[in-house]
Each structure stands twice: as C-alpha cells, then as structure tokens.
Amino acid sequence: MSTISNWLEATRPKTLPAALIPVLIGSALAWKHQSFHIDVVIMASICALLIQIGTNFANDYYDFKKGADTDERIGFKRASASGLIKPEHMLRATIFTMILAFICGLYLVYIGGWIVLAIGIASLAFGILYTGGPFPLAYNGLGDIFVFIFFGIVAVCGTFYVHTGSFNWEVFFASIVPGALSTNILVINNLRDTETDKKVNKRTLGVIFGDNFLKIEYVLLCLMAFAIPPHLQFWDQYNYFIFLPMLSLPLAFILCKRLYSFHDKIELNDLLARTAQFLILFGFLFTLGITFQ
C-alpha cells in the first residue's frame, strides 16, 4: 500500500521552494508599490504549491511510462518506477491536484480577471506538457526555457499583477532571479541524468550539447541572477538594501566550484539539494531587499 511518507516523498519537497520564492518576490514588489494584499499572498502560494506538486506527480507518472526511470538512474527514488505508488494512482493524484489548483485559483481570477485565468490555465498545461502529451517539453530540449519562463517571468509578474492590476519592466527584470535559479535546479538534474536520458531518447540540453554546456549554463544563470540587484539600483533607484543577495556570493562560488570538480555523478544529488537551498537563500535576501525600499 502507498503510505503517507511515500506520497510526501513523491511531492519532491526539495523542489517546492521554486514555487514559493516567485510569489514572495512578486508580493514584495507589490508592497514596494503600496498595493499589497495578504489574501493574494496566501492564495497565490497555495496555487503555486499545488501546481508544483501536480507537476511533480505528472513527471513521476510520465517518466515511468516513457521508461526514463530505470534501475540505472542515480537520482532520487521515483515512486511509480520503484513500485511504491501504483502508476494509475499517481495519474489520479495528478488530475486531482491540478483540479484543486484550478479551483483555488478562481479566487485570484475573481480579483485579477481573465488575464489571471489565462496565466493559470497556461501554468497547469505546462505542468502536464512538461513530460506528457505528444510533444513533451523536457524530452525535446525545451525544459530549461519553459522553467525559466514559468518559474520566473510568469510567476513573479502574475503575482504582481493580481496585487496591483498592472505590470512594469522593473517587475520583469526582478523575475529573472527566480527564473534563472530555478532553471539551475533543472540543469543539475539533467547533468546527473545525461547517460540514462540518452538511452530513452530524452533530449535534454545536456544530451544535445553535452555536459560542459550545462556547466557553462549553470554559471551564466548564477551571474544573471547576481546582475539584477545592480540593475535595479542603477535603473530603478533602489536603495542599497537591494544588494543583500550579494551576501550569498561565497556560496555561489562554492557551488560552481563543486560543479567543476565532482568525480562521480552521484555527488550531484547533494549539489541539486544545495542549489535548491541557494534559491531559497538568494530569493529570501532579494525579497528583503525589495521590501526595505
């Protein structure tokens, strides 16, 4: 039988901050613009978590059905492939979670209108089409760009829009931070799995361009995130609190150094967790920096 612990593990808790950080950043920007609503923060967070969990369930199911999760995989245990949860139960959980996310999102639609509805439907569709459907994004080298878009631009700008009913370029540039750092979680995941992905024709950027490409991508995305605070200070006259994320620079250096010095790809499981933790740290400091404007 599927236990509670198995289901909790299937939600992939280490990935969930990638859903919450953009909501916090978008809400902090709304606070700065004096249009902050606590109910929006709560409901947006619930919807973001449900969509992320639903996406993780869908990935678990579709990767199993496509044969991507085998005994050769060195990543964390997947519930369907390991027999901990029946695939049909995982599919039902995916559908239920996505429907629940849609229902909760109707509150945000009531506040923000049809634009929010379009964002919500697109986010739900992305969660399924990432590994499912006739043209799964993750299997055709498009996972990175769509993670960047939905965990960065869509999530931050969408949250800000529900708070304020508006959009500006300041918010767009701020959204690059979670987009870049969330994508880095996927980069490490793909780097770890290039060999097994090749065998099932899962054409990630690592499979297409090689491991070195992913290492360069990781460093460039880190640099992109660190470039945003100076941009906001120079172009949008933020005060110096916006440089709080720079406190995480030593950790970024350590992560990049480990990326170029690992000896066995099993070590990337820990680096994956550290990259998620880095997203939390940078995102929290970035949120504080915006709030203190």
Mean pLDDT across the chain: 93
* Whether residue 256 has pLDDT greater than 90: yes
**Structural domain spans, the chain:** 4-291
Q: What is the mean pLDDT of residues 229-242?
A: 96
Q: Band of the pLDDT at 1, cuts 50, 70, 90? A: very low
Q: Band of the pLDDT at 65, cuts 50, 70, 90? A: confident
The secondary structure of 125-179 as a DSSP string is: HHHHHTT-SSS-GGGBT-HHHHHHIIIIIIHHHHHHHHHHS---HHHHHHHHHHH
* Whether residue 69 has pLDDT greater than 80: no
Separation CA 72–CA 284 (nearest Å) = 36
Long-range Cβ pairs for the range 257-260 (8 Å, 24+): 259/188, 259/215, 259/218, 259/219, 260/215
* Whether residue 2 has pLDDT greater than 60: no
Long-range Cβ pairs for the range 222-229 (8 Å, 24+): 222/180, 222/181, 222/184, 222/252, 222/255, 222/256, 224/176, 224/180, 225/176, 225/177, 225/180, 225/181, 225/282, 226/252, 228/173, 228/174, 228/176, 228/177, 228/286, 229/286, 229/289
Task: Render pLDDT for 74-90 as a digit per residue (tens, 0 to 9).
Answer: 666 777 877 788 999 99
pLDDT of residue 47: 97
Task: Render pLDDT for 168-205 as a digit per residue (tens, 0 to 9).
Answer: 999 999 999 999 999 999 999 999 999 888 988 899 99
What is the dotted CATH code of the domain comprising 4-291?
1.10.600
Task: Render pLDDT for 17-51 as a digit per residue (tens, 0 to 9).
Answer: 889 999 999 999 999 999 999 999 999 999 999 99
Separation CA 254–CA 248 (nearest Å) = 10
Q: Band of the pLDDT at 112, cuts 50, 70, 90? A: very high
Q: Quote the pTM value.
A: 0.94
